[in-house]
Every structure is written in structure tokens, then in C-alpha cells.
């Protein structure tokens, strides 16, 4: 429990405190209850009725202040002073900053009494100034980082050089990478073609030459490629002899810009060459100011003497052929103010009466001054049009000839695969179809049937009535087979009076016998040709196969064997190949 000091001694101390110019108060430890505060303290910091120090300060600073008020250092001499920065809310809503100095306050006559002396020094202006400096530095650093500018500072007076992390990053260096040991070592990193210029530019920059405040050069990146650097610098300190003592600046990586400039220059050169080779003329008309500018090729295209003044609305319009004039001018007017290019082709009559055909591509735009402008290109396509017309005539002729060749080729291919008399596929086509259908049926798990047909009595008709009647009989038989077999089955003339029908099917082979009987019946009916009545018949050998590896040519051999059996069994009938019987 605290021991009360004698009133006389305390009054003496209070009188001393009241004479201090600094705001000073004596408080108890803990909450900081006021024992006494001088007039300066009350005027500057106590704007309302409070009983303790902690009631004055901002809530966010209570922890740090309470720690000072509760600390009991072993050394309680007045020299044991602790401090912290605090905020004090004012009655008008503002906040002032103060530096709080706290030290033990011990009375000689009451050595066990523990009091603290608190002095508050107004730190508001200093704090605001520091905060402003920090904000400025933060903005400056953020601007440098976001702009990717590397800062350098050569302080020759202090013998110190500084290079920012961005400066190192531009060159591919990490913060731990050593800098070049000397100016000569650094110069070895500069592009050989830029070394002399760079040294001269640095000297002129330090001398304050405005022409060299900004210069560009190439420096080798850590990974080996060249980096274009834009160096901006200025001297900010000189000695009495005018020699540069401190030079500061920034470096920026302008490689992308240089690459873009290089590409633009390359494109410009190519464009200029293309314009020269193609004969394209370029113009630009200021529709607001009434001015127009032609390049050299425009003068050449329209046969205007070089240097002659081009008048907007007069010169170019005077060359337009009357039947094109209204349409062309309407097209230009319709595109005023529209975005995008518009095209046209028109005829002009030159001063000597020569007619030429001009093609144009133009566009309108509004420039930075608000002027409506028309820019475009013109080129003489007269020879191109004439050549195109000639090519179209040649193309039409070639297409006609090509159609004839195609028709001839188709006919040749058809003749190679078809019988000239009946129009049916021939033996060559039959072999191709047999292979194709064998593979197809094997893949689809279907069966392939084959009917080998031989006419009975045909030789007698051919010998008795002549070959013309025999040919008519063969054509009649071919038509009958087409109708009976149908479009799904393949009918071919194997040669002479022999025919073959290929029948892909699924299920039982009974359909093959039904088809064979229909053919035998149709062939048994007499056929009249002129005044000749022809009697003949047909014998048919039937064979088929199934499975995953059908051999079409074996089916043909089996059907031929069955045909032989049908012939020797009385003709006018069909026989089905039986492997058990014939093998």
C-alpha cells in the first residue's frame, strides 16, 4: 500500500513541476490516475474531465501505454525513462500525436511511494511529415516498380554506387550476383558497336548536356542475349570546380520497343518495295481543309505532270469516264465517316484520250484535329483485266476440251470393264467384283452365291440365222438377267454365251435355286427377232460359300463344275455344287 508523502515536500515538487515548460503530470502506476498535472499539460492535452492518463489516449495505444505504466524497473532513478508514440483524440474530432516519456517519480521522505512522471511532447507535425515522406517514397517506389525502371545512383563524393533490384532484373542479375569489378569490366558487357558512343554519352550526361540526358545502348543479359537499355540521368551535385559529384538516373529495358521498331522498319521497306513493284499510288485527302496529297505513283497513273497542284473535287474527278462518274462519287460519299475499307473499280480517260481501268481501296477516318480524311490506294489494272479476259477465254476452251477428255476417259474406262454388245460387266469387271464381294461378305458374315449360266441351243441359232440374230439373242438374254437378278445382284457376261450372276445373301441358300429356276424358265420362252423365232434354253451351275475367308475364284470353279453336271443331266435345268459329291 502506498505511503503518503508529507504535504510540504509534495507541494515543493508540484511547484517545481508547474514551472516546467513541457506538459508534465504525476500519475500512479496501473491506470495512470492523475496525482497532479501542470498547466501546460492541461492546456495542451486535457480538453475534457478525466481522472487518469489511459482515458486520454486512443484505444489502439492502450496496450503499449499500460505496459509503460505497469513496469517497475529495478532502477527507479529519474534517469530511467521510457517512451512510446501515442495518439490523443481531441474534442473537435481530430487526433494529435504525442511522444510520451515515462520515468519514476520518487520522494525522499516517502521512499516506498511509487509514482510516475509523464511528459507529453506534441509530435503531430513530425508524425505527419514522416507519414508524408513514407507515402511519397512508397508512391515513388511503386511507380518505379510498376514502370520497370531500374534506379542507379553514383555518389562520387561518398564513394558509393547504388543499383536497385529492377536495375539488376533488367540484366538478369539476382540481388546476390556481384557487380562488374570495374568500369572496364562493365564496358565488356556493352555491345561492341555501342561502346564508344556509350562512353561519350555518359561523359556528356555528367556534363549536363541536354542532348544526352537520354540515350540508348545494348548490354549483354546474363543469359547471353542483348538487351536494349534506355538510360536517363542527370547530375545533382557538383564540386566547386563544376565536376560531377553525384549522378542519378533510371534504366529501362526497351528491347520490345526496339524489336517493334525493327519490325516496323522492315515492313515499311517491304511495303515501299511492294508499292514500287506493283505501281500502287497512295493519296490522302483532308476533306475538312480541302487539301489533297498524291505520291509519285499517283501522278504517273493519271499522267499528271509532277509538281502540278492537285485540287480536291476537281483533278481526280476530271478523269472519271462519264458512265462511271456518278456511281463512283456516290460510293465515296456513302462511306464518309464509316469504319473499314471500301473498294471500287472504274474507267478513266487520260489527257491523251487513252482509257485505263483503275482499282481502288479507300477508307475515311477522323484525325486528332477532328478533320475528316480520306486515304486510299489506286492502281492501274488495265493489263490485268485484259489478261483476265484472255485467261477466261482460255479457261473456257480448256474446260470444254477437258470435258471432252473426261468423257473420252470415262468411255474408255467403261469399255475396258463392260461388254460392248450387251453393256454388261465383262470378265475383267467380274474378277474385280468377285474379289470385292468376297471380302465384303467375309467382313459382314454374309454368304456369297454364284450362278454360272450357259445358253443351250445358241450355237444352232448363230449358225442357222447368222451372227446378227445371235447378237440380238445375247442382248435379249442380258436384259432378261438384269430384270430377274435385280439391282442388288451383279450380272456379267463371262464370254460367248456364258453369263454369271453374283448374289450376296444372308440365311439359307434356297434363294439361289429359286433364282436359277426363274432364269431357266425365262430362257425357255421363244424369242422373236424380225421374222425369226428363236428357241433356246439355259443350264446353270450354282455354288456358294460362307465364313470369314471366302474365296470367290473357288466359288466360280465350283459353279463351273455344277454347270457341267447340269449340262450332262439333260440341259434346261440347274445343279447346285455339293462338295461331298464333286470332291
63 and 85 part of one domain: yes
Q: What is the CATH number for 198? A: 3.30.450.20
Q: Is the pLDDT of residue 314 over 50?
A: yes
212 and 313 part of one domain: no
Alpha-carbon distance values, 295 to 30, 48, 346, 493 (Å)? 91, 85, 20, 77
375 and 481 part of one domain: no
Nearest to 530 by CA among 484, 473, 583: 473
| Last residue of one domain, picked from the residues 380, 399, 434 | 380
Q: Which residues contact 73 (CB under 8 A, 6 or more apart)?
A: 80, 104
301 and 423 part of one domain: no
Question: Within a domain: residue 274?
Answer: no
pLDDT digits 0-9 by tens, 401-446: 888 888 888 888 888 899 999 999 999 999 999 999 999 999 999 9
454 and 565 part of one domain: yes
User: pLDDT band for position 451 (50/70/90)?
Assistant: very high
248 and 212 part of one domain: yes
Question: Within a domain: residue 431?
Answer: yes
Question: Within a domain: residue 273?
Answer: no
409 and 463 part of one domain: no
436 and 570 part of one domain: yes
The total of structural domains in the chain comes to 5
Alpha-carbon distance values, 89 to 56, 57, 85, 95, 98 (Å)? 7, 7, 14, 4, 11
pLDDT at 147: 59
Q: Is the pLDDT of residue 497 over 90?
A: yes
Burial class (CB in 10 A: 0-12, 13-18, 19+), 94: exposed
DSSP-derived 3-state class of residue 349: strand
566 and 453 part of one domain: yes
Question: Within a domain: residue 271?
Answer: no
Q: Is the pLDDT of residue 94 over 50?
A: yes
Question: Within a domain: residue 33?
Answer: yes
pTM: 0.41
pLDDT at 7: 60
pLDDT at 141: 62
Alpha-carbon distance values, 377 to 278, 297, 360, 361 (Å)? 11, 10, 6, 5
The count of other CB atoms within 10 Å of the CB of residue 13 is: 18
457 and 319 part of one domain: no
pLDDT digits 0-9 by tens, 266-284: 888 887 777 777 778 899 9
Question: Within a domain: residue 435?
Answer: yes
| Last residue of one domain, picked from the residues 128, 161, 185 | 128
Query: In this predicted model, which residue has the larger pLDDT, 80 or 391?
Result: 391
401 and 529 part of one domain: no
Q: Which three cell numbers stand for residue 156?
A: 562520387
Range of 442's domain? 418-582
Return the percentage of the chain with pLDDT > 90, whole number: 55
Question: Within a domain: residue 45?
Answer: yes
| Last residue of one domain, picked from the residues 330, 361, 380 | 380
pLDDT at 74: 47
347 and 487 part of one domain: no
User: pLDDT band for position 20 (50/70/90)?
Assistant: confident
Question: Within a domain: residue 42?
Answer: yes
Amino acid at each position: 500500500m502506498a505511503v503518503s508523502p508529507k504535504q510540504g515536500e509534495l507541494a515543493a515538487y508540484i511547484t517545481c513541476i508547474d514551472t516546467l515548460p513541457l506538459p508534465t503530470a504525476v500519475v500512479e502506476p496501473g491506470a495512470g490516475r492523475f496525482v497532479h498535472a501542470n498547466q501546460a499539460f492541461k492546456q495542451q492535452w486535457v480538453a475534457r474531465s478525466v481522472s487518469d492518463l489511459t482515458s486520454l489516449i486512443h484505444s489502439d495505444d492502450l496496450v503499449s501505454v499500460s505496459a509503460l505504466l505497469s513496469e517497475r524497473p529495478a532502477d527507479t532513478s529519474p534517469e530511467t525513462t521510457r517512451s512510446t508514440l501515442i495518439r490523443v483524440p481531441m474534442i473537435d474530432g481530430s487526433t494529435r500525436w504525442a511522444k510520451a516519456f515515462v520515468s519514476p517519480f520518487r520522494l525522499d521522505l516517502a521512499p516506498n511511494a511509487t509514482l510516475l512522471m509523464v511528459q507529453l511532447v506534441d509530435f503531430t507535425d513530425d508524425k505527419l511529415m514522416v507519414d508524408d515522406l513514407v507515402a511519397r517514397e512508397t508512391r515513388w517506389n511503386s511507380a518505379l516498380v510498376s514502370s520497370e525502371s531500374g534506379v542507379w545512383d553514383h555518389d562520387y563524393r561518398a564513394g558509393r554506387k547504388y543499383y536497385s533490384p529492377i536495375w539488376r532484373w533488367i540484366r538478369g542479375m539476382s540481388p546476390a550476383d556481384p557487380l562488374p569489378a570495374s568500369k572496364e569490366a562493365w564496358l565488356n558487357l556493352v555491345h561492341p558497336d555501342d561502346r564508344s558512343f556509350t562512353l561519350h554519352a555518359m561523359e556528356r550526361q555528367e556534363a549536363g548536356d541536354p542532348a544526352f540526358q537520354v540515350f540508348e545502348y545494348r548490354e549483354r543479359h546474363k543469359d547471353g542475349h542483348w538487351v536494349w537499355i534506355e538510360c536517363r540521368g542527370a547530375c545533382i551535385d557538383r564540386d566547386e570546380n563544376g565536376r560531377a559529384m553525384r549522378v542519378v538516373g533510371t534504366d529501362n529495358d526497351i528491347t520490345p520497343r526496339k524489336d517493334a521498331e525493327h519490325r516496323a522498319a522492315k515492313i515499311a521497306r517491304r511495303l515501299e518495295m511492294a508499292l514500287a513493284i506493283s505501281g500502287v499510288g497512295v493519296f490522302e485527302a483532308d476533306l475538312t481543309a480541302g487539301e489533297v496529297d498524291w505520291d509519285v505513283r499517283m501522278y504517273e497513273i493519271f499522267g499528271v505532270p509532277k509538281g502540278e497542284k492537285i485540287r480536291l473535287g476537281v483533278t481526280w474527278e476530271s478523269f472519271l469516264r462519264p458512265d462511271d462518274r456518278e456511281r463512283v462519287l456516290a460510293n465515296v460519299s456513302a462511306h464518309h465517316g464509316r469504319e473499314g475499307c471500301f473498294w471500287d473499280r472504274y474507267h478513266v480517260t487520260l489527257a491523251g484520250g487513252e482509257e485505263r481501268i483503275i482499282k481502288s481501296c479507300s477508307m475515311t477516318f477522323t484525325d486528332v484535329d477532328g478533320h475528316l480524311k480520306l486515304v486510299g490506294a489506286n492502281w492501274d489494272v488495265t493489263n490485268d483485266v485484259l489478261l483476265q479476259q484472255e485467261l477466261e477465254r482460255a479457261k473456257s476452251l480448256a474446260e470444254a476440251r477437258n470435258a471432252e477428255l473426261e468423257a473420252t476417259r470415262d468411255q474408255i474406262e467403261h469399255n475396258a470393264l463392260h461388254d460392248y454388245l450387251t453393256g454388261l460387266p465383262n470378265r475383267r469387271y467380274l474378277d474385280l467384283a468377285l474379289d470385292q464381294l468376297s471380302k465384303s461378305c467375309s467382313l459382314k458374315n454374309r454368304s456369297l452365291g454364284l450362278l454360272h449360266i450357259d445358253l443351250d441351243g445358241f450355237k444352232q441359232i448363230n449358225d442357222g440365222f447368222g451372227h446378227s440374230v445371235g447378237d440380238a439373242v445375247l442382248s435379249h438374254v442380258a436384259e432378261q438377267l438384269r430384270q430377274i437378278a435385280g439391282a442388288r445382284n451383279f450380272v456379267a457376261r463371262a464370254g460367248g454365251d456364258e453369263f454369271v450372276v453374283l448374289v450376296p445373301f444372308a440365311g439359307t441358300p434356297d434363294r439361289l435355286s429359286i433364282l436359277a429356276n426363274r432364269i431357266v424358265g425365262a430362257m425357255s420362252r421363244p424369242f422373236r427377232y424380225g421374222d425369226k423365232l428363236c428357241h433356246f434354253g439355259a443350264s446353270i451351275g450354282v455354288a456358294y460359300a460362307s465364313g470369314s475367308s471366302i474365296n470367290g475364284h473357288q466359288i466360280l470353279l465350283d459353279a463351273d463344275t455344277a454347270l457341267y453336271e447340269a449340262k450332262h443331266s439333260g440341259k434346261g435345268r440347274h445343279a447346285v455344287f455339293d462338295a461331298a459329291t464333286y470332291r
